[in-house]
Chains A and B, each alone.
Chain A
């Protein structure tokens, strides 16, 4: 530990690690965008990174435009150490992308590294300086790490939907878009809407989700108000049991529901789905809303009661307008559950004319239907919820944390 807390040692290690992170990311990016057989070349990038790290903390190196000089040095070293092939392929192949990537890798290594090592002395470090540098490195690593793990699956989902089955089998890494195809790129989407009825699934899902929201609110608003505001025996037990319902796994309920629906003939009906969906969301909604209602000042409601309003009028005219933000959060959250629900739709719907979107996508998972259709279906299922989420992110985040929330 003592040995680590020397300026140039810390700088060398962080430089080595950071350049490895950047080199791997850049190689993955380049590979996915060009489809070329790129390798990260860690054996070249890491020593170069370590050297740049040491130079960054070397106080005597006082030159203008230090970042640019060091970036150039890093790029040169990379080219030299890999014998003129900084990404393991000849520079003639996708030259433009390679040169951009080389500039990118140099600055992405040197720039953040400079920030991480800022103010670090060359010699012995105290605990604060050492930990500060390590934390800055971990922060940088964290941003890269999370962005990569979240972005790659979505990138693959979208790009696969534009490709053809053969192209994927020939080179699974090639996600470059063949722009010459023009609108032909959207073939999978056109086919899904034309041949696979996805327009109707989209509408069904939308209808089911909106109805679920409305029914859930209709049931849970009065219930939540009762639990939060009114005094009665069994109040505590009620709010406990609401939580308990959270903990019953859906598959345990789905089995008897399947049996019951089969014998009553409610399978394959949207009506049957609408009987079940709201009940799975009411406890969550009730729990979230009662937390909010408790936080509202009781005095306003009491004033309303004094002025001769009945309890229900108080709820309608005072409590509800005050809790619109919470109701918006709950609605969004319930909409999301309804939209994403898979298990019940999968078990209860067999008739392709009545599918919801998730059930429709599940239907595409067959060996006879090409992969890009499945991915295009996934994109269609994802985009509406993503748009809603991005547009109303504040409400959503609040809603998700407001009550503890099922997932």
Chain B
């Protein structure tokens, strides 16, 4: 391991080569699945593209035999229905390749086509948008054809043609950004996102700190309780989200029934369906689901605090609250700030929870839900990508803070 300090000797070079070799699979896969999609998002955000445009226009054919051949020598029609799948985009240079069933004798070959043995080849030229055409080829069957009674679709016809896809052509637009920044809705989306991220993060930290204080002593059953308190975090989000929806349902939910019975409420509240309760509820859900994570980290840090400090404080007559405030809190400040930054970013990025709880309705649409809504509910992929670009820009700012203030603490 003793390299030259600069690491430029032959040993050092070999080591660096090995290191890059070992990292290569990770780097390549990460570029394919992370960097490439990120670049794609920027590209798409400048494209006037909707969900429908994703289907590249393709030439299609449906083959069948019209008429029945019962005896050798009977005549029938080989019927090809040709269509352009797109109603907006033309296809150029369409060709068809197929193998005819055995015993099919073509009586009259269409001018576009040539026949070589049983191989049929046709050149159709250009198809305009929404092109529909029928090609009927009369034929007669031999005894072999009658015996086999073939289905013409058994040999699949290969159609080829060039089509423009909006995804790859050179039309660019700023409309997506104009559209998302224009609506007043966008600023409310930003406001909701910030509310959710700030209060979700602070709440999870405070509740996590409380839980960590509770479990920061050894007693029988401590492990069991710790395991129990981690349940919300390890359970699939889909299971707990639907449970919350069931629990807080306005008609058949236990929470409403309980609150009414105890005289807290006069009539049921639609917790996940009305403003502003829905936003508060999804934030509470976020706190509930993620306090275990903060709690684990804070507990791990607490258990590494030197106990002699507390003994010294006891000698000096510090009261329990004084010890907490003047000893524990400063010791935990580092991990708390790191957790705040991490959790803030992840809460900001969170999609599943709100999507499952409210689907972004009733004033709970955050930026990430907005990406989905724009791209799939409104079918405007370009606008969805534009929102994603906004998210990415905001994240860059957050990560700058993260690395500036987070890196010295706790070795992150």
Task: Tell me if A63 counts as interface (CB < 8 A to partner B).
Answer: no
Task: Tell me if B247 counts as interface (CB < 8 A to partner A).
Answer: yes
- What's the least CB distance linking A135 to chain B, in Å? 5
- The segment from B138-146, B173-181, B250-258, B326-334 found at the interface with A is B250-258
Distance of A245 Cα from B395 Cα, bound (Å): 11
Given contacts A405-B293, A407-B293, contact A248 B23 (CB under 8 A): no
Q: Are A156 and B300 in contact (CB under 8 A)?
A: no
Determine which of A37, A282, A342, A401 lies in contact with B236 in the assembled complex, contact meaning CB atoms within 8 Å.
A342
SS class, residues of chain A in contact with chain B: helix
Task: Tell me if B238 counts as interface (CB < 8 A to partner A).
Answer: yes
- What's the least CB distance linking B5 to chain A, in Å? 10
Q: Are B320 and A249 in contact (CB under 8 A)?
A: no
- What's the least CB distance linking B273 to chain A, in Å? 14
Q: Are B346 and A365 in contact (CB under 8 A)?
A: no
Q: Which residues of B contact A40 (CB under 8 A)?
A: 262
Q: Which of B292-311 touch A at CB < 8 Å? A: 293, 296-297, 300
Task: Tell me if B391 counts as interface (CB < 8 A to partner A).
Answer: yes
Q: Which residues of A contact B223 (CB under 8 A)?
A: 393
Task: Tell me if B158 counts as interface (CB < 8 A to partner A).
Answer: no
Q: Are A259 and B243 in contact (CB under 8 A)?
A: no
Determine which of B40, B240, B262, B338 lies in contact with A153 in the assembled complex, contact meaning CB atoms within 8 Å.
B240
Distance of A119 Cα from B167 Cα, bound (Å): 77
Determine which of B12, B37, B238, B346 lies in contact with A256 in the assembled complex, contact meaning CB atoms within 8 Å.
B37
Task: Tell me if B392 counts as interface (CB < 8 A to partner A).
Answer: yes
Determine which of B239, B246, B256 lies in contact with A382 in the assembled complex, contact meaning CB atoms within 8 Å.
B239
Determine which of B16, B355, B372 lies in contact with A231 in the assembled complex, contact meaning CB atoms within 8 Å.
B16
Q: Are B26 and A219 in contact (CB under 8 A)?
A: yes
Given contacts A150-B231, A378-B239, contact A231 B15 (CB under 8 A): yes
Task: Tell me if B121 counts as interface (CB < 8 A to partner A).
Answer: no
The chain A residue with its CB closest to the CB of B289 is: A407
Task: Tell me if B124 counts as interface (CB < 8 A to partner A).
Answer: no
- The segment from B66-74, B182-190, B380-388 found at the interface with A is B380-388
Q: Are A343 and B320 in contact (CB under 8 A)?
A: no
Determine which of B30, B232, B258 lies in contact with A150 in the assembled complex, contact meaning CB atoms within 8 Å.
B232
Q: Which residues of A contact B26 (CB under 8 A)?
A: 219-220, 223, 282, 286
Q: Are A153 and B243 in contact (CB under 8 A)?
A: yes
Q: Are A386 and B257 in contact (CB under 8 A)?
A: no
Distance of A112 Cα from B5 Cα, bound (Å): 64
Given contacts A222-B23, A230-B19, A404-B338, contact A255 B214 (CB under 8 A): no
Q: What are 8 A-B interface contacts by the 8 Å CB criterion?
A: A39-B261, A243-B412, A250-B349, A255-B37, A280-B33, A340-B235, A361-B239, A382-B235
Besides the known contacts A165-B252, A252-B38, A260-B37, 12 further A-B residue pairs in the complex with CB atoms under 8 A apart: A149-B288, A150-B231, A157-B239, A172-B253, A226-B18, A227-B19, A230-B16, A249-B350, A249-B368, A255-B41, A362-B238, A406-B346
Give me the 3 closest cross-chain CB pairs, A-B, nearest first. Answer: A249-B349, A378-B239, A232-B16
